[in-house]
Amino acid sequence: MKIDYLIVGNGLAGIMLCETLRKLGKSFRLISDNSQQASIVASGLYNPVVLKRFNKAWNADKQLPLAMSVYENLESFLKIKIDTKIPIYRVFHSEEEQNNWFISCDSLELEPFLTPKIIDNHNKNIKAPFGFGIVRHTGRIDTRLLLESYYYYLKQKGLLIADTFDYNHLDNKAELKYKDFEARQIIFAEGFGMKKNPFFNKLPLQGTKGELLVIRAPDLKSEIILKSSIFVIPIIKDEYLVGSTYAWKDYSNEPTQNAKIQLLDKLKGLISCDFDIVQHRAGIRPTVPDRRPLVGQHGVYKNIYILNGLGSRGVLIAPTVAKNLIDFIELGIPLDNEVNIKRFK
């Protein structure tokens, strides 16, 4: 069977590539074995500001409008609700942090996102004696629901191949062939699974394990995203996501007791009400030392491409870099040097 594209990968990057191609009317198949869990267990938080240092996230002002448009269109197309717009309340721990907040509010690049006032805490179950600063244009994408719904659509249309990709079956001597398919292009969007990919495994992809908890806290009664050393995100009635951890040596998808203890210690420093743990999740984020995605064309095989390294901000970044890559392939629009894999030559 002749098709335009083969997409390999089961996360947000792969879904965004499929959706970009679908809207262009291109034929494609997605090959996925669900081995990479980062997108499924992700918090789904989108936030244009790095709140540890009070600076704008990389290209957030350009990525945010496209991301919001893409998710809105996906809600309509899949007939689901995945985008919940919720302000982030950044917890202050000192007067110095309050002062730094006001300084940041005067910045031209941060002014659209930060509210220039201190919000007093009136929730007896939240420990925030120095109050909060509000971040605008933030919220949460239900990535689990998005992926499950999109996979269902692909399966119904016969566009999903539920299998582990076998590199030995890829023949790219003349036309690109894989088992029963002839494709014009193949794009690998495998997350941390890229480490096994013979075409791209020399790129400096790192795995950063992230873990989070789902808790039930009926007395917390918070409808905002709390951000301190952890975040606390309301998801459904009385339930919250609590995360996240960063670990650089453990590459398993299994939750760990050490991460659980870290999260609970930080949570108890932020809230004072009782809670129960409902779930403990873990996944490996595909990260890059320079904190920029891996996007581009193989140096030798010109019909083989990669989209990877979205890190912890994939919800915000994925729609933009997927469009960038398809625009590069279809229209010849150059990739930004910051994301192009040629930077690692």
Say if strands 139-141 and 45-46 run parallel, antiparallel, or are unpaired: antiparallel
**pLDDT tens digits along 46-86:** 999 998 888 999 999 999 999 999 999 999 999 999 999 99
CA distances from 137 to 64, 86, 132, 147, 284 (A): 8, 8, 16, 23, 27
pLDDT at position 174, please? Answer: 72
Reply yes or no on whether the pLDDT at 252 is more than 90: no
pLDDT at position 35, please? Answer: 66
36 falls in which pLDDT band (50, 70, 90)? Answer: low
Closest CA to 53 of 305, 333, 291, 327: 291
The predicted model gives 32-58 an average pLDDT of 84
**pLDDT tens digits along 110-155:** 999 999 999 999 999 999 999 999 999 999 999 999 999 999 999 9
The Cα–Cα gap between 76 and 65 comes to 17
Among 206-210, 255-259, 271-275, 317-321, the minimum mean pLDDT is found in 206-210
**pLDDT tens digits along 297-319:** 999 999 999 999 999 899 999 99
User: Which value, to the nearest 10 degrees, does the dihedral of the CA atoms of residues 222, 226, 229, 231 take?
Assistant: 80
Check residue 114 and report its DSSP letter: B
Reply yes or no on whether the pLDDT at 173 is more than 80: no
In whole numbers, what is the pLDDT of the chain averaged over residues? 94
| Non-local CB neighbours of 108 within 8 Å, separated by 6+ positions | none
pTM of the shown model? 0.93
The Cα–Cα gap between 136 and 145 comes to 24
**pLDDT tens digits along 191-216:** 999 999 999 999 999 989 999 999 99
Residue-range domains of the chain with CATH:
2-43+144-203+289-344 (3.50.50.60), 87-137 (no CATH), 206-287 (3.30.9.10)
Reply yes or no on whether the pLDDT at 37 is more than 70: no
The predicted model gives 217-230 an average pLDDT of 96
Outline where DSSP puts E strands in 39-195: 45-46, 49-50, 55-56, 83-85, 88-91, 132-135, 139-141, 160-162, 170-171, 176-178, 181-188
